[in-house]
């Protein structure tokens, strides 16, 4: 299952704290996307995560949890994505929270299902940037350096370029991709139609489409064919 990540071109990200109808969920899961990622920056609980997972599990589709809150970790996912924020001076977002989790739950952790992600957070107005004190004002050289550290030093399988809510600087994203080496590069932020999906896909391996599912579902669904045609 971990090797399958390298084949993903498109992933829809669903937030347990946001409502979505059964009809809309059916359209999302039957769209041809490679996987469903469940996660959010706030309001994620055990109960709403269980509820959303059980609804997605009706479909023959990879379903992964991006862990943002230890209290919302639910068994039964195919993989567990573990974010590590690279561009912050707050060490707890790189290792501190992770050490705490292992100390408390090491006997319960399915290590074979854990996939670490090296996040580079670049939208200073986003919730995740404020929460983690991310150093978002970086140039291409610094961004590339973070990518090289993630790939060559930390050996992370995924580098996640996170613009969270707005379409990002594609030149900066391209700098990260060129420096990423063996790591798969995910991009998330502001992809809301086929055009933005194609542009982002040119500079990354996998696009993550989230917010537009709740604001303009028809155009969000067009992003699947845009990167797979």
Could you list the pLDDT tens digit for every one of the 229 residues in the chain?
778 899 999 999 999 999 999 999 999 999 999 999 999 877 889 999 999 999 999 999 999 999 988 888 889 999 999 999 999 999 888 888 888 888 887 777 888 999 999 999 999 999 899 999 999 999 999 999 999 999 999 999 999 999 988 999 999 999 999 999 999 999 999 999 999 999 999 999 999 999 999 999 999 999 999 998 7
* CATH number belonging to the domain at 3-228, selected among 1.20.1050.40, 3.40.190.10, 3.20.20.120, 3.20.20.390: 3.20.20.390
Q: What gap in Å lies between CA 79 and CA 102, rounded to an integer?
A: 17
Q: Say what the pLDDT of residue 104 is.
A: 80
Measured CA to CA, the distance from residue 56 to residue 80 in angstroms comes to 15
- Cα of first residue to Cα of last residue in the chain, in angstroms, is 24
Report the pLDDT value the prediction gives residue 99, as an integer from 0 to 100. Answer: 86
Predicted local confidence at residue 215, as pLDDT: 94
**Domain spans in the chain, listed from the N-terminal domain onward:** 3-228
Q: How far is CA 18 from CA 14, 44, 57, 77, 188, in A?
A: 8, 9, 18, 19, 18
């Amino acid at each position: 299952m971990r090797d399958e990540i390298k084949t993903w071109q498109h992933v829809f990200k669903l937030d347990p704290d946001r409502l979505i109808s059964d009809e809309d969920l059916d359209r999302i899961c039957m769209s041809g996307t490679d996987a469903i990622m469940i996660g959010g920056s706030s309001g994620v609980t055990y109960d709403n995560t269980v509820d959303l997972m059980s609804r997605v599990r009706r479909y023959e589709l990879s379903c992964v949890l991006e862990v943002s809150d230890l209290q919302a970790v639910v068994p039964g996912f195919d993989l567990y994505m573990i974010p590590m924020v690279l561009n912050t001076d707050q060490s707890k977002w790189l290792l501190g929270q992770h050490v705490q989790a292992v100390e408390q739950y090491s006997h319960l952790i399915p290590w074979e299902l854990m996939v670490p992600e090296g996040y580079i957070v670049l939208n200073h107005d986003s919730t995740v940037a404020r929460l983690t004190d991310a150093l978002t004002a970086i140039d291409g050289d610094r961004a590339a350096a973070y990518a090289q550290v993630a790939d060559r030093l930390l050996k992370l399988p995924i580098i996640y370029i996170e613009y969270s809510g707005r379409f990002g600087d594609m030149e900066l994203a391209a700098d990260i991709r060129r420096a990423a080496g063996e790591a798969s590069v995910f991009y998330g932020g502001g992809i809301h139609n086929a055009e933005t999906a194609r542009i982002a896909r040119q500079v990354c391996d996998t696009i993550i489409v989230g917010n537009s599912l709740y604001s303009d579902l028809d155009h969000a669904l067009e992003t699947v064919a845009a990167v797979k045609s």
